[in-house]
Structure 1
Amino acid sequence: MDIVSALRTFQRVVETGSFSAAAHDLDVTQPAVSRQVAALEGHFNTRLLHRTTSGLSLTAEGERMLRILEAVEELGDAAGSDGTMASGKVRLSVPAPLGLYLSERLGDLLAAHPKLSVELIFREQGSDMIEERLDLEVRLGQVADSSLVCRRIGWTTAFLVAAPAYLARRAAPRAPKEIKDHECLCYNRAGEANTWSFSNGSEDISVRISPRLTACNAVAIHRAALAGAGLAVLSHIIAMPDIAAGRLVPVMRDFQPSRLPVTVVYPSRRNMPLRVKTVLDFLTDAMRQDPSMCASGADRQWN
C-alpha cells in the first residue's frame, strides 16, 4: 500500500464528506477510494470513519489522524515558502450579499492558484462547522460560540429602501416609529427577523415589525422590493446599483440601519492548511477593498 496516497485519499474523503465525491475529485473510482481507506484502517489497526446510511463521520482516531495530517501540511507549507502553492478545496459559508460580492472576485484568486478550489455556500445563519465540514464561515453580529477562532474583518452597511411604485402608494416613513404602518419585507440578516435596528448616529432604536414577507435569502427580498412589495433593509452590495439607477429609493435617511460587525470564524485548530489561509487572506483583502465594509465609520452614499 502507498501510505502517502492512502492518507491523501482519507483527507479528501473527510473534506468532501463522501467516498463518491472524493473519487470524483481524485479522478478514480469509488471502490478504489473505499479500498484505500480500508487499507489505511487495516495498516493502523483502527477505524477512522463511522459509516452510516446518513453519511460519514470521524472517529476519535480519525480526528487525531486528521490533525496530524494538517500539522504535516502546515509544516510543508512553511518549508516550501519558496514556491509552494495552495491546493485542495476550501468550503466557505457566507451571507448571500457577501457571496455575490466575492463571486465577482474569486476568478483572480483561482487563476493565481490553479490547484485551489472554493465551494461557496450561501447561508444567513451560523452552522455547526465541524458537522458541515466548513473551513471558514462569515457571520454577522456578535459570535456567541467561544469554541471558534474569530477574526473581525469589517462592518455591514445597509439601507432601508423601497421601489418608487411602492412610495407612490405609501408615504415614506420619516422615523422608526412610522415603520409599523408599512408593508415590511424581511430576511434574517442577524438576530430576529421581526426586529429592525436603526441608528441616528448617537443612539440605536429597535423596531418590532410584522413582516408581510419573510425569506431566508436576501436576493429574494431584493427582488420583492424591486417589484414594489414594500420596505426592505438591504445590504449596500445589492442595493447600491438600484439606488444609483433609481429603481430603489433610500428612505428615513436620518435613521439608517445599525451596522453589524462582520466576523470570519473557523474551528479552533492549531494548524491552518495553506489552502484555508490563502482563502482567508483573500477574504480579508476583499473586505478592505470596499470602503463601506472596511471601517466602522464609513460614510453612506447614494445618488
Structure 2
Amino acid sequence: MDLVSAIKTFVKVAQCGSFSAAAQALNRTQPAVSRQVSALESHLDMRLLNRSTSQVALTEEGLMLLPLATELLSCAESLLEATRHRNQEAVGHVRLAAPAPFGLHLSTHLGRLLSQHPGLSVELLIQEQSPDLIGDGIDIEVRAGVVSDSDLIARCVGSTSGLLVAAPAYLARMGAPTSLEELGRHECITHRRGGYDSTWWFMTKQGPLAVPIHARLQANNAEAVHRAVLNGFGIAMLSHLTAGPDIGSGRLVQLLPEYPARRFPIHVVYHARQHVPKRIRTVVDFVIGLLGDDPAMAVDDWLLS
C-alpha cells in the first residue's frame, strides 16, 4: 500500500464529506477511493470514518488523525519540492578523486564550474592509486587505464598523452638519446604506481614497443617526478599537462618526439545507480568537457574497440 497516497485520499474524503466528491476531486472512481480508505483503516487497525448511504463522518480516531495527516502531507510536499529543486539545480557536495597531473589541471578550472552553480561544492582529492569509491566515500574518480569493476559506471572520455623530457642541465651533462635503445644507458626517473617500473612503452610504426630503462630514482607521486626532472637529475615520462608549459618556457626539452608514448584510456568512474543526482551529473559533464577541450587527450579509436 502507498501510505502517503492513502492518507491523501483519507484527508480529501474528510474535507469533501463524501466518497463521491473526493473521487471527483482526485479524478478517480468512487470504489477505488473507498478501497484505499479501507486499506488505510486496516493498516492502522482503527476505523476513521463512519459511513452511511448519504454521507460519511469522522470517528473520534479520524478526528485525532486528520490534523496529523494534513501535517504529514505538507511535509511530503515540501520533501518533493526540495527533491525537484535538487534535480533541477546542482546542489550539494561532490568528492572528486584524480591523479596528480589531471587533478592539478582540474584545480585551475573548477572555479568556473563553482561560479556557474552557487549551490555546489567540490572536494578534490589528488590520489595516485585508485580509491575504494564506496569505502572512501568518493563520488567520482578520473582514472587512467582499464576499469574492470562491473559495479561501477566507467565512461571512456579521453586518453593519456605522455612526453619524454629532460632538463637542459641533464642534457649538457649526459647528452640526449638519439634512439629508444639508448634510453637504457641513461638515468631515468619513474613514477611508481605499483611494483618496480623498469619499462616505458612507446608507439612505433610496428605498434607498441616496450623499452627497458634504468630507474635511478622512483617516486609514487607524479609531482615529485616532475620536480626531480626539472632539477636535472634524469629523463622522465611526464603528462603533457605537466610538461607542456615547461617545454614552452625552455625549462624542459622533449626527447625523441618521433616515438610518442603509448596512450592509455582515461575514464570517468562513478557509482552504478539508476538515478544519478544532478550534482554528480554536473561534475561528470564538466570533467568530460574539460578533457574534450584538449585535443591531446582525444579518445583514440582503438581505445573504444
Q: Which of 136, 155, 162 is matched with 2:159 structurally?
A: 155
TM-score, normalization by structure 1:
0.68
Q: Which of 250, 269, 294 is matched with 1:246 structurally?
A: 250
- 1:254 counterpart letter in structure 2: E
CA RMSD of aligned residues (A): 2.5
SS of equivalent residue, structure 1 residue 152: strand
Match of residue 239 from structure 2: 235
Give the C-alpha shift of residue 82 in structure 1.
11
- 1:88 counterpart letter in structure 2: G
Return 5+ residue gaps in structure 2 as ranges.
1-75
Summarize the alignment of residues 1-303 of structure 1 with structure 2, pairs less than 5 Å apart: 80=84, 84-188=88-192, 193-296=197-300
Percent identity, aligned pairs only?
Answer: 46
Q: 1:120 to 1:76 in 2, by over 3 A?
A: farther
**1-side partners of 2:263 and 2:254: how far apart?**
16
**1-side partners of 2:141 and 2:133: how far apart?**
8
Q: 1:76 to 1:276 in 2, by over 3 A?
A: farther
**Contact map agreement 2:201 2:208 (CA 8 A) in 1:** yes
SS of equivalent residue, structure 2 residue 257: coil
Give the C-alpha shift of residue 295 in structure 1.
3.7
SS of equivalent residue, structure 2 residue 135: helix
**Contact map agreement 1:138 1:264 (CA 8 A) in 2:** yes
Q: 1:83 to 1:151 in 2, by over 3 A?
A: closer
Please list the CA deviations of residues 183-207 of structure 1 after superposition, one character each: whole Å capped at 9, or x if unmatched. 1111146886332111124411112
Aligned length: 224
**Contact map agreement 2:88 2:278 (CA 8 A) in 1:** no
**1-side partners of 2:214 and 2:268: how far apart?**
31
Give the C-alpha shift of residue 79 in structure 1.
7.8
Give the C-alpha shift of residue 264 in structure 1.
1.0
Larger radius of gyration: 2
Return 5+ residue gaps in structure 1 as ranges.
1-71, 298-303
TM-score, normalization by structure 2:
0.68
Give the C-alpha shift of residue 100 in structure 1.
1.4
Give the C-alpha shift of residue 157 in structure 1.
0.9
Give the C-alpha shift of residue 172 in structure 1.
1.5
